[in-house]
Amino acid sequence: DIQMTQSPSTLSASIGDRVTITCRASQSVSGLLAWYQQKPGQAPKLLIYQASSLESGVPSRFSGSYSGTEFTLTISSLQPDDLATYYCQQYANFWTFGHGTKVEIK
Amino acid sequence: EVRLVESGGRLVKPGGSLSLSCAASGFSFSSFSFNWVRQASGKGLEWLAAISSWGRILYADSLRGRFTITRDNAENSVFLVMNSLRAEDTAVYYCVRSEDNGGKSGDSWGQGTLVTVSS
């Protein structure tokens, strides 16, 4: 099974800050990595697929990148609406989710 | 508009069975894969099962054969039959659409249905 190690588990940042969340896969997932945003009481929402492709309708302040088995979600300028938990997910071999990163506003 | 609507969640006793349904609308149902993902209260996301557009089925090893996923293209619906339910199966269960062959993953989620396993 492919394991996904996501960090940090919690992140506190100010409005306007650049925020970075990292996910490391235990083996190659060939770029088949997605990022989701989940707000309290809601279903997850797809932000990024294939590691760096922005889902339609998602603000351009969200971006994804990767090198090898390390994947990064970046929010270029944190907004109040970005308060949420973020999950990475590999879909190269079955599906595996990271444990989530809760983003708090300072 | 793409819609996925889950139903069937309820309170069930340990050892019991339950069938969840996911009704899809607003897109070409037969062209997509579907997955079931669950989330216990305050916890992360756990993938359970997938069924592709051509009927290939995959399950998480942790289920040990207790759950069965099926689809009915004529009814635009996906189902999850759960047997031998345990307290640790208590969670919100989501139906999730994805593209076949490594395209987009999880681009549409239902609102979830709550399964509670308790005596």
Give the pLDDT score at A76.
98
Give pLDDT < 70 ranges for chain A.
none
Testing the interface with B: which of A91, A93, A101 to mutate, by most B Cβ within 10 A?
A91
DSSP state of B101: T
* Nearest Cα to Cα of residue B107 among A89, A74, A79, A66: A89
Contact A80, B44 (CB under 8 A): no
Interface contact B106-A50, CB threshold 8 A? no
Interface contact B45-A55, CB threshold 8 A? no
Give the pLDDT score at A62.
98
Question: In Å, what is the CA distance from A11 to each residue of A59, A69, A100, A103?
Answer: 20, 22, 11, 5
Comparing B108 with B103, which gets the higher pLDDT? Answer: B108
What average pLDDT does range B44-73 have in this prediction?
A: 95
- Give chain B positions within 8 Å (CB) of A99: 44
